[in-house]
Amino acid sequence: MGTPAQTDQNYDQKVDNRSAREKQLDDWLPITSSRNAKWWYSAFHNVTAMVGAGVLGLPHAIAQLGWGPGLGVLFASWVITLYTLWQMVEMHEMVPGKRFDRYHELGQHAFGEKLGLFIVVPQQLVVEVGVNIVYMVTGGQSLKKFHELVCQDPCKDIHLTYFIMIFASVHFVLSHLPNFNSISGVSLAAAVMSLSYSTIAWAAAVKKGVQPDVEYTYKDHSLMGAVFGFFNALGTIAFAYAGHNVVLEIQATIPSTPEKPSKGPMWKGVVVAYTVVALCYFPVAVIGYWTYGNGVSDNILISLEKPVWLIAAANMFVVVHVIGSYQIYAMPVFDMIETVLVKKLNFTPSRTLRFISRNIYVGFTMFVGICIPFFGGLLGFFGGFAFAPTTYFLPCIMWLTIHKPKKWSLSWVTNWICIIFGVCLMVVSPIGGLRQIIVDAKDYKFFS
């Protein structure tokens, strides 16, 4: 029978009809170059991908939605996204002898070669590039907050632009790690940090207690403002459930045989990750809103000022986490860029090619983050615009297209409920997010 690694290799050889050049390129590309991950890699990669900056915006989202709708949407999103994530894990190896290592490959199987690319790739790129831009802003904001907390007088005020550049400098180094498995240490540290700063956020809020004159009404007293805030909050919650955009790429790193397909260890990791997600999201959202009411900031750690040492530590934990999370979302983008360069444009795979292309990408996300550093508005806009499709309803449409469940069966009804919910999110959330960016931008001076 041989070792698991040998078995996996033999299995690949039986079904492998790639040319020598295609094998060489696949062994170089980030997603397919290493397939020896353990199930716990899946757990902390998914935690790092999921529990990101979005958790810090959840109390503000609940404030814009109100107690009932807020908790309802948060719980419904947890259930729906766990279901759609299960579908994607199941569909990874639905064709015997073939693995859909990338989201767009599954899309091509469901919708056709050209249409699948057209449907999936633009949305996945918007999600992953959008997350990287938001994390540039988050990392810069958290570094600035840390600086303000630990260095008060007579420290000179440093503009956010410089902190975003400091944060980006880390990625000009880390982005040259070749593949998913090579960033597993960074991802593990990030997963631990996400649980740590989430715990600090709700524990510090409990210690602080309900604030004087707290109000649980809508912050914006005009009907129009409250409606747009409601829309933006839906996008913020959608942003918090973004792991689907990298789940197939993470699963691609796990070894697979006909006897032991990758979906077993992958699903085990997903269950652990979603348990951690619940332990982070619900306490932060509920306790943060309970403490501050509609006065809570769009980043809960900005509202929390004391104890200074603890909040300073939490902000540094956020920095470490978004360093790892940036890399998780950047890796599929690097894979797409490098695939185009070596397969379409016939560049020779080399360190120089990787060095130039990845540095250009990091520089681009840094530049856009400096231009529009509006955390709350960015969450709502990106959350609705692309996260809702790729997370809430694209997996369901693929499932209906490929599996064709019987009309009005439980599977058919469930998938259509998810699709309707996701489409509503996609339509209204970007409207609220864009308005929030416009409101925030009124007094902002670019590159100040």
* pLDDT of 424 strictly over 80: yes
Omega within 30 of 0 (cis) for the link into 154? yes
Average pLDDT over residues 392-415: 92
Q: Could you tell me which residue, 418 or 42, shows the higher pLDDT?
A: 418
Task: Report pLDDT for 326.
Answer: 92
What pLDDT was estimated at residue 353? 92
Domain that holds residue 367: 31-441
Q: Which pLDDT band, with edges at 50, 70 and 90, does 79 fall under?
A: very high
d(CA 195, CA 201): 10
Half-sphere exposure of 13 (CA within 13 A, CB side): 6
Three-state DSSP at 336 gives helix
For the chain, what percent of residues have pLDDT higher than 70? 89
Q: In this structure, what CATH number is given to the domain that contains residue 80?
A: 1.20.1740.10
**What is the average per-residue pLDDT within 80-108?**
89
Q: What is the mean pLDDT of residues 50-55?
A: 74
Check residue 372 and give its pLDDT: 74
- Residue 139 covered by a domain: yes
Give how many domains the chain has, as a whole number.
1
Q: Is 396 a member of any domain?
A: yes
* pLDDT given at position 363: 95
- Mean pLDDT (whole number) for 362-390: 75
The two three-digit tokens of residue 188, written as one number: 């593990």
What's residue 169's pLDDT?
A: 95
Is the model more confident about 341 or about 371? 341
What's the pLDDT score for residue 381? 67
For the stretch 257-316, pLDDT in tens is 888 888 889 999 999 999 998 998 999 999 988 988 888 877 777 777 667 888 888 889
pLDDT band at 376 (very low <50, low <70, confident <90, very high): low
Please state, in angstroms and rounded to a whole number, the distance separating the CA atoms of residues 182 and 180.
5
Q: What is the mean pLDDT of the chain?
A: 83
122-144: average pLDDT: 87
Output the pLDDT for position 46. Answer: 84
Q: In the structure encoding, which two tokens stand for residue 58, read together?
A: 């959840």
* 3-state secondary structure string across 375-430: HHHHHHHHHHHHHHHHHHHHHHHHHHHHHCCCCCCHHHHHHHHHHHHHHHHHHHHH
Q: Which residue has the tokens 């056709």?
A: 112
User: Does the pLDDT value for residue 198 go beyond 80?
Assistant: yes
Quote the pLDDT of residue 3.
43
Task: With a cut of 90, say whether residue 214 has pLDDT above it.
Answer: no
Tens of pLDDT, residues 15-47: 455 567 777 777 788 887 777 778 888 888 888
Could you tell me the pTM of the whole model?
0.84
Domain presence at residue 117: yes
Where does the pLDDT of residue 360 fall: very low under 50, low under 70, confident under 90, or very high at 90 and above? very high
Residue 4 maps to a domain: no
pLDDT score of 87: 93
The torsion defined by the Cα of 103, 363, 178 and 39, in degrees rounded to 10, comes to -50
Higher pLDDT, 333 or 18: 333
Is the distance from CB of 397 to CB of 110 less than 8 angstroms? Answer: yes
**At residue 57, does pLDDT exceed 50?**
yes
Token couple for 116: 């699948």
Q: Residue 435: is its pLDDT beyond 80?
A: no
Query: 378 pLDDT band (50/70/90 cuts)?
Result: low
Distance CA(168)–CA(173), nearest Å, equals 9
Give the pLDDT confidence score for residue 444 in this predicted structure.
58
Q: Which residue has the higher pLDDT, 326 or 231?
A: 326
Residue 234 in any domain: the answer is: yes
pLDDT, one tens digit per residue, over 146-182 is: 888 888 776 778 888 899 999 999 999 999 988 878 8
Paired tokens of 355: 């060095």
Residue 26 counted as domain residue: no
Residue 317 and residue 200 in contact, taking contact as beta carbons nearer than 8 Å: yes
Residue 380, pLDDT score: 59
Q: Flag whether 23 is in a domain.
A: no
Arithmetic mean of pLDDT, 406-424: 91
Instruction: State the Cα–Cα distance between residues 177 and 196, nearest whole angstrom.
Output: 25
57 within some domain? yes
Percent of the chain exceeding pLDDT 90 equals 24
What letters, b where the CB count within 10 A reaches 16 and e where it falls short, cover 29-56? bbbbbbbebebebbbbbbbbbbbbbbbb
